[in-house]
Amino acid sequence: MEYWQAFVLGIVQGLTEFLPISSSAHLKVIPALFGWKDAGVSFDAVIQLGSIVAVVSYFWKDLSNITLGSIEAVRKQNYKSQEFKLAVAIALGTIPILFGGLLIKIFVPDYDKSPLRSLTAIAIASIVMSSLLALAEIFGQRSKTEKRHFKGVRIIDGILMGLAQAMAIIPGVSRSGSTLTAGLFLGLDRVAATRFSFLLGIPAITIAGLVELVSIIKKGFGDIGAGQLAIGLLSSVIFSYLAIAWLLKFFQTHTTWVFVFYRLLFGTLLLTGLGFGWLK
């Protein structure tokens, strides 16, 4: 892998991790489109750590308030505290994707070459998730006067959005897309659903990235040098932060329809390219 390719993949990771369009899909498609060698799941997971640095930096105040508030709630046995509810929601919502990831590790050791990571599977997943997001936008936003804001996030929201997040084990589903879709169906407004989606993703992405980083260190970097990883991480940090700030501001005044149409077009073009032999 060339340094500039690692930089480009870091940009792709940063821009697509938090937009509801699937980072894993784009990290698979971009190399295929330009004839690059697939960097693999490990490289993808490690540069996701750059996205974690960005989201933790952006939401540092929220994370501090949730952590300190939860400790205070336990000390005073005030389990109705919103900070405590958010902490429990994030913790319980993280379990499904960790469990799913563990099953993948055990039963699909050669996941890099799994049919689930094929371009066909990614295209189908993109189209399906586009349809679900469209339904969430239509039905989830009907009663605007009853929309719940971030302070109204419940523990059950975390559990259900966590189950949706587990679907992102399949490339093309999009972790942020599946959780945003679930949040809209649950009655959260777009900003609240997006904000909680970002917070919910922190433990899962961090653990996945660290596990793969340890694996790479033990096995050796192979064709991917430490310098390429560092470049990918750096560009991932920068563009992840920009994507987070932009998306939260965007959803204050816009709907999700642009992402619905993008995902539909993305999946359709992939299937077209595969059908005509332009992509392999």
pLDDT at 141: 65
Task: Show Cβ contacts of residue 148 under 8 Å, excluding neighbours closer than 6 positions.
Answer: 187, 188, 189, 192
Residue with tokens 């499904």: 96
The structure tokens listed for 128 are 């399906």
Q: How confident is the model at residue 106 (pLDDT cuts 50, 70, 90)?
A: confident
CA distance 257 to 245: 19
Confidence of residue 145 (pLDDT cuts 50, 70, 90): low
Q: pTM of the predicted model, to two decimals?
A: 0.90
pLDDT at 227: 86
pLDDT in tens, 74-104: 999 998 899 999 999 999 999 999 999 888 8
**E-assigned strand segments in 153-219:** none
Q: Where are the domains of the chain?
A: 3-275
Quickly state the pLDDT bin for 267 (edges 50, 70, 90).
Answer: very high
The mean of the pLDDT values for the chain is 89
Torsional sign, CA 193, 196, 198, 203 = negative
Axis crossing angle, helix 226-250 with helix 40-58, rounded to the nearest 10: 50
The residue assigned the tokens 């033990």 is 218
Which one has a higher pLDDT value, 73 or 116? 73
* Torsion angles phi and psi, residue 190, rounded to 5: -60, -45
Note the pLDDT tens digit of each residue in 174-186: 999 999 999 999 9
